[in-house]
Amino acid sequence: MTMSRRNLLGLAAGTGAASLLAACAGPGGESTKPGETGGEISFAHWRAEDKDVFEQIIKDSKLAVRQDISPSNDYQSTALQKLRGGTVGDAFTAFRGAQFLDIAKAGVWTDLTGKPLTQRYEPALITAGAQDGKQLGVPYQLVFNTPLANRDLVTETPKDWDGFLALLDTLKGKGVTPIAWPGGDAANAGQLLNVMVVNNAPTDDALGRIETGEAKVTDDWFLTVLKQYQQLTPYFQKGATGTGSDAALALFAQGKAGLLATGSFQVSGVRKLGAKFPIDLLAPITTTADKARYEGVFNATFILGVNAKSAKQDAALAWLDRLSDPVVAGVYANGTAQHVTVKGVEYTNADLKALAPWLSRKTALAPRFQFSNLDVRGAVENAAVQVVGGKSPEQAAEAAQRVVDQKR
Amino acid sequence: MSRRALYLFAAPALALYGGFFLLPAVQGLRYATTDWDGYSPAFHDVGAANLTAVVSNDDLFRNALTNNLKFLLVVVLGQTALALLLAVLLAARGRGSTWLRALFFLPTVLSSVSVAFIWKFVYDPNFGLANAVLDAAGLDRFESSYLGDESTAILWVAVAQIWFHAGQMMIVYIAGINQIPEELYDAARTDGAGRWQQFRHVTWPMVAPATALVVAYTTLQSFKAFDLILGLAGNPPRSGLDVLATRIYSTFANSQLGYAAAESIVFMAAIAVVTFLQNRAARMAHG
């Protein structure tokens, strides 16, 4: 059979049009009208490391859920725009602080107040998902933004700042890096600031007050924080300000560092690298023992919600309801080595059991998430990194305060 | 074929250009005069306040501009010089040069994310190749934290960018060198010119059009180096690695779309100024 050029062009055009229509139809070509509970829903989140556990929960629940996962920093930057479209994230998650507030302002949360699933959570742990008396989302994870300690190396728990520095000297004497700190990774470098601030700050909302202008980076208490960073500098690994999260994790997992200055959310990552040593949490107490108000820091995050722009809200709510079941929450918790905010969960994971005493210890809600302006947060956190890089605390504080004044 | 039919052929491209470039550009100008956060139904007009703030009262933007200009300078000079050197050495045809051309061109076909991953490994202070090599050579006093050093971090990214794209520019130069008539070299040799003089008086002036192309393209690449920087520095990048493109993205992510639009306008103006100055410099350099 011969084909003329006209026929060939016609065939190409037809194929192109068909391809375009197929592409527009999306994966599976499924269409669901508003209010329908059928069809696959999208669950948007940032925890790629939890993907397998979620897949297992999806399989067991027989719900049609597709995970749309973005790296955490990209999720922080772009999730709101995607969610507003309504095609991604019928059910979704949000970080506590700036992202939660922005999504609330954009009207993307569905009000969960009074829904039965909210009764399954510890009331005190889901306040980060409430605004103006409405329960917009439910924080699912309970993490400790408190340094991890290798208990084979770190045998004592100092009660004050001098004791902490003495411990670091002891670790140095053992030939290991006292603190592995991912100073080159903006998201994780700031975790240490949480524990450095909570006991130094005059009030629990001191970082938030920097953003509102009621406090300054140049205030004495924050200068004390920066000076303590300066004191910690010789105890970090070499090139600390250029070290990424994976490298710091590897140093700790290989037993080359006594402390990992991030948080409990990295325990599973440490285990995946083959670490066998007992893991505990250990925060630097930055004051004298009598003035210390907190032993560490926690955060209730990974705030679950239903997208108000979604056409499949009932199905999304069913998915959240499933995750809120104590048995399912237990599968998630034990599979990911993270505590959850759901009541009555049985922790069988050895690390979660070991860290369980921290659930009742005196810990503060992570202060770095009090910032709602990411530029202000970046400036304040970067001041600490710059001090470790060699800048004087006073200069770093002044530069940060200038940015705060310009951006708040 | 009628004239109207000819216009129809251009219509799809014009529609795409209008819809995805012209319209957003005009919208950007409008948004730059507002405090729109990017999602609220309402916003306020702020006149020129955003533009004034970007130009006169924004340390983060000024820092990004400074970093971008440092990056631009190093990449344009380094990449152009390296590409020309490689082209001069590999312009002659032969099995060896063909193989080497392919080798130097190889990084160009990689994605920015892959390149960032490779150089992250090179620059890691504890497990990275760079410090390991220095250590093995007994030069550990030169070890660095590379991307963690505020004052030099952007220069290390520039090295990665040069490695990434020098091979591509080498091909442009090789095409230019192959266009030079052999008689010019014969005449130069007859006049007693050595290799350097042949390069100085024949090759360099004759590859002027290629140089203009390489410099212009490299300049744009340097301003648009977004994915490589995010890949190496994370999101958001710290102040030592923040450039204009990443700054605008951070502002957008901070729900300040109006202000990000104003930053974009200044960004475009900066590109226009640099391109104008380059054209003037190129004209002066080549008489």
**From the candidates A76, A77, A176, which should be mutated to test the interface with B, based on the most B CB atoms within 10 A?**
A77
Measured between beta carbons, the chain B residues lying within 8 angstroms of A185 are: 234
Strands of A151-295, DSSP E: 177-180, 257-260, 279-281
pLDDT, tens digit, for every residue of A150-183? Answer: 999 999 999 999 999 999 999 999 999 999 999 9
Q: What is the CATH number of domain A147-282+371-407?
A: 3.40.190.10
Mean pLDDT of the residues in chain A: 90
Q: Burial level of A191, CB count in 10 A (0-12/13-18/19+)? A: buried
- Check pLDDT > 70 for residue A7: no
* pLDDT the model gives residue B1: 65
CB contact under 8 A, B125 and A378: no
* pLDDT the model gives residue B2: 77
ipTM of the complex: 0.87
CB contact under 8 A, A237 and B143: no
Question: What is the arithmetic mean of pLDDT over A88-110?
Answer: 93
Q: Rounded to an integer, what distance in angstroms lies between the CA atom of residue A160 and that of residue B245? A: 44
**From the candidates A103, A233, A238, which should be mutated to test the interface with B, based on the most B CB atoms within 10 A?**
A238
Closest residue, chain A, to B249 (C-alpha): A77
Among A71-75, A327-331, B36-40, name the one with the lowest average pLDDT: A71-75
**From the candidates A9, A20, A99, A102, which should be mutated to test the interface with B, based on the most B CB atoms within 10 A?**
A102
Using 50, 70 and 90 to split pLDDT, how confident is the model at A81?
confident
Q: Which residues are registered as beta bridge partners of A236?
A: A179
Show me where the domains of chain A are located.
36-143+300-354, 147-282+371-407
* Cα of A381 to nearest chain B Cα, Å: 10
Question: What is the arithmetic mean of pLDDT over A290-310?
Answer: 96
pLDDT, tens digit, for every residue of A20-63? Answer: 333 333 333 333 333 344 589 999 999 998 999 999 999 999 89
Topology annotation, domain B32-285: MetI-like fold (1.10.3720)
* pLDDT the model gives residue B95: 82
* pLDDT the model gives residue A19: 40
Measured between beta carbons, the chain A residues lying within 8 angstroms of B120 are: 244
CB B75 within 8 A of CB B162: yes
Measured between beta carbons, the chain B residues lying within 8 angstroms of A385 are: 238
Closest residue, chain A, to B41 (C-alpha): A106
**From the candidates B60, B252, B254, which should be mutated to test the interface with A, based on the most A CB atoms within 10 A?**
B254
Q: Rounded to an integer, what distance in angstroms lies between the CA atom of residue B198 and that of residue B190? A: 11
pLDDT, tens digit, for every residue of A240-267? Answer: 999 999 999 999 999 999 999 999 999 9
Using 50, 70 and 90 to split pLDDT, how confident is the model at A186?
confident
Domains A36-143+300-354 and A147-282+371-407 share a fold: yes
The identity of residue B85, as a single letter, is L
- Pairing state of beta strands A130-131 and A65-69? unpaired
- Check pLDDT > 90 for residue A15: no
CB contact under 8 A, B234 and A185: yes
Q: Rounded to an integer, what distance in angstroms lies between the CA atom of residue B207 and that of residue B213? A: 10
Measured between beta carbons, the chain A residues lying within 8 angstroms of B238 are: 184, 186, 378, 382, 385
**From the candidates B39, B52, B57, which should be mutated to test the interface with A, based on the most A CB atoms within 10 A?**
B39
Q: What is the CATH number of domain A36-143+300-354?
A: 3.40.190.10
CB contact under 8 A, A186 and B237: yes
Provide the percentage of residues in chain A whose pLDDT is more than 70: 91
CB contact under 8 A, A243 and B58: no
* pLDDT the model gives residue B33: 96
* Cα of A250 to nearest chain B Cα, Å: 9
Question: What is the arithmetic mean of pLDDT over A280-287?
Answer: 97
Show the low-confidence residues of chain B (pLDDT under 70): 1, 286-287
Residue with tokens 């994915």: B227
Rg of the Cα atoms in chain B: 23
Measured between beta carbons, the chain A residues lying within 8 angstroms of B61 are: none
* Residue among A283, A275, A281 at smallest CA distance from A252: A275
Taking residue A18's Cβ as centre, other Cβ atoms within 10 Å add up to 10
Q: Which residues contact A318 (CB under 8 A, 6 or more apart)?
A: A37, A63
The identity of residue A125, as a single letter, is L
pLDDT, tens digit, for every residue of B115-157? Answer: 999 999 999 999 999 999 999 999 999 999 999 999 999 999 9
Give me the residue from A80, A183, A251 closest to B148, CB to CB. A183
Instruction: Identify residues of B whose CB sits under 8 angstroms from chain A CBs.
Output: 37-40, 53, 57-60, 120, 123-127, 131, 143-150, 153, 234-239, 249-255
Residue A213 in tokens: 């202008």
Measured between beta carbons, the chain B residues lying within 8 angstroms of A186 are: 234-238
**CA pseudo-torsion sign A152, A50, A242, A273:** positive
Question: What is the arithmetic mean of pLDDT over A379-400?
Answer: 97
- Check pLDDT > 70 for residue A6: no
pLDDT, tens digit, for every residue of A113-153? Answer: 999 999 999 999 999 999 999 999 999 999 999 999 999 99
Q: Burial level of A314, CB count in 10 A (0-12/13-18/19+)? A: middle
Show me where the domains of chain B are located.
32-285
CB contact under 8 A, A239 and B250: no
Q: Burial level of A68, CB count in 10 A (0-12/13-18/19+)? A: middle
CB contact under 8 A, B60 and A403: yes
Rg of the Cα atoms in chain A: 24
Q: Rounded to an integer, what distance in angstroms lies between the CA atom of residue A246 and that of residue A250? A: 6
3-class state of residue A306 by DSSP: strand
* Cα of B74 to nearest chain A Cα, Å: 21
Counting one residue from A and one from B, how many pairs have CB atoms under 8 Å apart? Answer: 121
CB contact under 8 A, A238 and B147: no
Bigger pLDDT: A73 vs B258: B258
- Check pLDDT > 50 for residue A13: no
* pLDDT the model gives residue A87: 82
- Check pLDDT > 80 for residue A18: no
Give me the residue from A106, A374, A375 closest to B39, CB to CB. A106
* pLDDT the model gives residue B286: 64
Q: Rounded to an integer, what distance in angstroms lies between the CA atom of residue A22 and that of residue A35? A: 25
pLDDT, tens digit, for every residue of B95-105? Answer: 889 999 999 99
Closest residue, chain A, to B42 (C-alpha): A106
Measured between beta carbons, the chain A residues lying within 8 angstroms of B143 are: 238-239
Closest residue, chain B, to A98 (C-alpha): B254
Give me the residue from A77, A78, A184 closest to B147, CB to CB. A184
